[in-house]
Structure 1
Amino acid sequence: MNPRRVKLLFLYIALLGLSAIFLMPFLWMFTTSLKGGEDEIFTYPPQIFPKAWHFENYKYVLELYPWLTFLKNSVIITFLSTLGVVISSSMAAFAFATLRFRGRDKIFILVISTMMIPYYTTLIPQYILFAKLGWIDTLKPLWVPAFFGSAYFIFLLRQFFKSIPIELFEAARIDGASIFQIFYKVYLPLARPAIITTIILHFITAWSDFFGPLIYLQSEENYTLVLGLNSFRGMYYTSWHYLMAATIMVITPSIIVFLIGQRKIVGGITLSGMKL
């Protein structure tokens, strides 16, 4: 056998083994969601597959809590915050990449340096601000800040915009295009891989956010899906099979979005690092 094929064969076997290891937690979670109760879950020796497949666990979970309300809140927060991040971060990145103004590089460094500030150090000032605005127990604290940009995505998009030849910007200006027209009609179409990367990464972050809703939301009608999962955890008892069933339903959209856009994520991040 060709040595190159032998090497590839061992490589594929190793990759399959690693894939199986990474998929084991998801498989355990899925099979646990279909088990009958604690006795079957914590039996010894452990059994991965249930003795009987209890698909009614999913029906029970849907009937136990207002999941459609939780879903609506999650969709609203995720959509608006993703829209805000894309609009604000792309416009800021375009300015840092193409426009020349006094102190541009210093301001950019200042923006990037905010990534080193721990989130928890700004939590109390933010909470006080939102409380004074009357936004506590509303969805606004979870999506309005997104319209002020994200340092990480500003950096990501700025790097991509700098990889676009500046001659395109200058030619468009000579043709009489405004700054906004250049941004909207020239740069945004070319930056589609980076924009899609931004959308996917922020979607997963916003959809799976637990700490933000936990801090700002108090009424059950404002809960998100992730916060609703916490309802299955009691002080003395946890229904693990129902919790796993709910978790499967909550993480499925993130998995689907990631699987659909994984190539765009790799391509967008790779292209964004072409020019510093």
Structure 2
Amino acid sequence: MYKKRQGIGSWIATILLTLYCLIAIVLIGNMVISSFKTKQDLLFNTFGFPTKISFENYRQVLVKDTLYKNFFNSIILTTLSIASLIFFSSMTAYGLSRYRFKGRQALEMYFLLGLMFPIQIAILPLFIIMRTLKLTNTFLGMIILYTANMSFSLFIFTQFFKELPAALHESAVIDGASEVTIFLRIMVPISKPVIFTVMTVSFVQIWNDFYLPLVFLAKRSLHTLTLAIYQYLANFLAYWNYVFAAATLSLIPVIIVFVVFSDQIISGLASGSIKE
């Protein structure tokens, strides 16, 4: 009876996820197709193929509206934030998983609370602190915020390091290796699948983040791609063909990352969440 119910639940989940994927594919496909339409064509042929393929939308957003600057801002911010996030979360997870000290479990639970409470609920005190430290309108301030929001990456790294045999660490200590050497020469290389997983998931989150840049990056020269698209919507609400072109450009890096690192994501999630 239990197996029968489990089978029905599995089928329902499969059907719902399949429908979700189909809806997402249709919406994304329509966005890409619409990015090649003129304004008039989009108005009278909303869901069809373009009457004539036009690259004017991309020329407008990239050249005339200099969206490439916002594109590079997003690349710089995302790359530096991911590097900082992986560096600090992996070291913290290694310490929490390998050492026993008073208050370790309480500290681990404190970090994991971030999975329940998003950073947005503390946005007002965060803004006051960042403004006092003169870190608003700086990439450094944004990198600190993204690094501090390490609950997911910390959880994945911690589960992975806990699964490693203690003999691995003990044999390295017997051979005279320091803790820094053990971490950099042994732990980091064998945790590559987890690193790729954290890198990919964090890339999608930071690249698509709109709320934190909106609050902490008021300077136009520092605007990320998501902010640029928002401003574009606000200023040119009638020109949805330009909006679709900008949104399509913002989607390309996400697709590339997922295609390149899809195998590593599955391997990393399995390594970080399943115990033998």
TM-score normalised by length of structure 1: 0.87
Q: What's the counterpart of residue 30 of structure 1?
A: 32
* Distance (whole Å) between structure 2 residues aligned to residue 221 and residue 266 of structure 1: 37
Q: 1:19 to 1:126 in 2, by over 3 A?
A: closer
* 2:30–2:47 contact (8 Å) kept in structure 1: no
Question: Residues 227-264 of structure 1, C-alpha deviation per residue, up to 9 Å, x if partnerless?
Answer: 11112213783311010001111111011101111121
Q: Are the counterparts in 1 of residues 114 and 149 from structure 2 also a CA contact under 8 Å? A: no
* Equivalences for residues 88-107 of structure 1 within 5 A: 88-107=88-107
- Within 5 A, what are the aligned runs for 1:160-239? 160-234=160-234, 237-239=237-239
CA contact (8 A) 1:84 1:148 kept: no
Query: What is residue 119 of structure 1 aligned with on the other side?
Result: 119
Whole-angstrom distance in 1 between the partners of 2:73 and 2:118: 27
1:35–1:53 Cα contact (<8 Å) kept: yes
Between 16-25 and 78-87, report the one with greater CA deviation: 16-25
Q: 1:67-78 maps to which residues of 2 (within 5 A)?
A: 67-78=67-78
* AA matched with 1:30: V
State the alpha-carbon separation in 1 of the partners of residues 236 and 247 from structure 2: 20
Partner residue of 1:271?
271
Letter in 2 for 1:88: F
Shift of 1:147: 4.1
The C-alpha deviation readout for 1:3-22, integer Å capped at 9, x for no partner, is xxxxxxxxxxx999886543
Paired residues of 1:74 and 1:225 also in contact (CA < 8 A): yes
Give the AA of the match of 2:114: T
Q: 1:140 to 1:84 in 2, by over 3 A?
A: same
Other-structure match for 1:43: 44
| Equivalent pair of 2:93/2:154 in contact (CA under 8 Å) | yes
Long gaps (5+) in structure 2: 1-14
Distance 2:131 2:145 in 1: 14
How far does the alpha carbon of each residue in 1:50-99 deviate from its partner, in whole angstroms, 9 at most, with x for none?
11111122111112322232122112211111011100000011011111
Rounded Cα–Cα distance in structure 2 between residues aligned with 1:68 and 1:235: 18
Matched residue, 1:247: 247
Greater mean alpha carbon deviation, residues 18-27 or residues 238-247: 18-27
Partner SS, residue 44 of structure 2:
coil
Partner of 1:9: none
Using the aligned pairs only, state the percent identity. Answer: 29
Q: Is the 8 A contact 1:200 1:258 kept in 2?
A: yes
Q: Secondary structure at the match of 1:122?
A: helix
Please state whether the residue corresponding to 1:233 is helix, strand or coil. helix
Cα–Cα, structure 1 residues 208 and 269, in superposed 2: closer, same or farther, change >3 Å? same
8 Å contact kept, 2:214–2:227: yes
Does the aligned pair in 1 maintain the 2:112–2:155 contact within 8 Å? yes
Letter in 2 for 1:35: K
Residue range with higher mean Cα deviation, 65-74 or 195-204: 65-74
Q: CA deviation at 1:168?
A: 0.4
Q: Distance in 2 between matches of 1:175 and 1:94?
A: 20
